[in-house]
Amino acid sequence: MTGAATIAESLKRCQVFTDLNDRQIKRIQALSTEIEPDVGVIIFKQGAAADALYVVESGRVALELSVPSPEGVPSRPATVATAGPGEAFGWSAVVPPFGMTLSARAMDGEPCKLVCIAGPELRDLIERDQKLGYKVMAGMARLLAHRLMQTKEVLLYERGWADVA
């Protein structure tokens, strides 16, 4: 498969874009490139400007939260979720105020390959094409609901309440 075909297939499998038709997928694909971060590489940092939405083609990505201590010393990042093939991350590129709420790091194991969708251009497309925009934002709502459930599970586990849920 060529890079363009791979990108299109990855977008079609992603929960954010499953409702889009082939023409709409091609419009998103036109905003996309593939990247292959090395294991352990930070893809983006918490607090950075959110300039891209990502879809995992292969490998896994850890989504990490750092909370500074009262003294201002950064804590060791805690993995609050992971994203694997077909999953999106970096939703902050589409939702104001466009700042990353977590950091993302390529995990050990299978090499990581990602579709990187330009955030400002995606926001512009969503605004110009409201039918496409509605479908993307409905997919974004599914993604956010999934992330919220993952975070809830981590919190319950960390508090020792995992059997309560």
Q: Residue 60's domain is classified under what CATH number? A: 2.60.120.10
Instruction: Supply the range of the domain harboring residue 46.
Output: 3-158
Count: domains in the chain: 1
User: CA dihedral in degrees (46, 86, 83, 139; nearest 10)?
Assistant: 60
Sign of the dihedral through C-alpha 80, 104, 134, 26? negative
Residue 60 belongs to a domain: yes
Asked, for residue 164, whether it belongs to a domain, the answer is: no
What does the alpha-carbon distance between residue 44 and residue 105 come to, in Å, rounded to a whole number? 7
The pLDDT assigned to 143 comes to 94
163 domain residue, yes or no? no
Residue 76 pLDDT level (bands cut at 50, 70, 90): confident
15 touches 142 (CB < 8 A): yes
Give the Cα separation of 41 and 135 in Å (integer). 32
Confidence of residue 163 (pLDDT cuts 50, 70, 90): low
Give dist(CA 161, CA 137) in Å, integer.
33
Looking at per-residue pLDDT, the higher value among 69 and 98 belongs to 98
Ramachandran area for residue 109 (φ above 0: left; ψ -120 to 50: alpha; else beta): left
**DSSP letter at 103?**
E
Q: Does a structural domain hold residue 11?
A: yes
Q: Residue 96 domain-assigned?
A: yes
Across the range 135-150, mean pLDDT stands at 93
Query: What spatial distance separates the first Cα and last Cα of the chain, rounded to whole Å?
Result: 43
Average pLDDT over the chain, rounded to an integer: 92
